[in-house]
């Protein structure tokens, strides 16, 4: 305030050509007039609040920007890793198909049969197997291979094989009603009978 008053007072004196030069201005105490004191205090508080808010915003920005940059960098690295995995997987698949093509050119029938069996093994690996031979009197052969494999793993681990409530072991396989008959596997033919 003192600097402002000094400059304004010197300006007034110069306009009136008084020839006076103010060398030093000392204000012991400044107080707003009683009528405007509340407004004056409000302005002072508003300036203090503005400065405080500005500092808080700067502190927040200083904290959030590095965090956002870190997250962005991590996302870029994850995306790059995903890209590399996808490229490696695609290249591996391409090499596998090229090797498969070479095998197919050498022995098409064998390769087709092998691919069929591998696909059936994948598709049916989690399901109970029921084979029905409709050509030989509707005899049904039930192969609980999934349960048999599970029991085999349990017995290797030292567990006793589980049994049904009637005391019979679940690894027993029902046999075809015709003794001596063996159902055809159907490996050579994948045609279905039309009903």
pLDDT tens-place string over residues 6-29: 899 999 999 999 889 989 888 777
Measure the CA–CA gap between 124 and 121, rounded to whole angstroms.
Answer: 5
- d(CA 135, CA 56) in angstroms, rounded, equals 85
The structure tokens listed for 117 are 């069996």
pLDDT digits (tens, 9 = 90+) for 128-140: 666 666 666 665 6
Q: Which of 112, 142, 113 is nearest to 128 (CA)?
A: 142
How many helices (H) and strands (E) the chain has is answered by: 4, 2
Helix (H, G, I), strand (E, B) or coil at 180: coil
Whole-number pLDDT of residue 163:
46
Beta bridge partners of 140: 132
Find residue 139's DSSP bridge partners: 133
| Neighbour tally for 151: CB within 10 Å | 19
pLDDT value for 172:
43
Residue pair 189/133 in contact (Cβ under 8 Å)? The answer is: no
- What six digits make up the tokens of 151? 């029991």
pTM above 0.95, yes or no: no
């Amino acid at each position: 305030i003192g600097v402002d008053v000094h400059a304004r007072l010197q300006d007034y004196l110069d306009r009136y050509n008084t020839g006076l030069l103010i060398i030093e201005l000392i204000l012991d105490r400044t107080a707003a007039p009683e009528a405007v004191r509340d407004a004056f205090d409000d302005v002072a508080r508003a300036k203090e609040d503005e400065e405080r808010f500005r500092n808080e915003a700067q502190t927040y920005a200083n904290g959030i920007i590095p965090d956002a940059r870190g997250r962005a960098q991590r996302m870029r690295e994850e995306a790059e890793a995903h890209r590399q995995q996808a490229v490696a997987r695609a290249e591996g698949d391409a090499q596998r198909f090229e090797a498969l093509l070479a095998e197919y050119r050498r022995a098409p029938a064998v390769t087709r049969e092998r691919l069929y069996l591998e696909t059936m093994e994948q598709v049916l690996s989690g399901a109970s197997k029921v084979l029905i031979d409709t050509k030989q009197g509707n005899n049904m052969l039930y192969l609980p291979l999934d349960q048999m494999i599970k029991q085999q793993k349990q017995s290797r681990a030292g567990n006793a094989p589980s049994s049904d409530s009637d005391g019979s072991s679940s690894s027993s396989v029902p046999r075809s009603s015709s003794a001596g008959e063996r159902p055809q596997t159907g490996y050579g033919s994948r045609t279905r009978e039309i009903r």
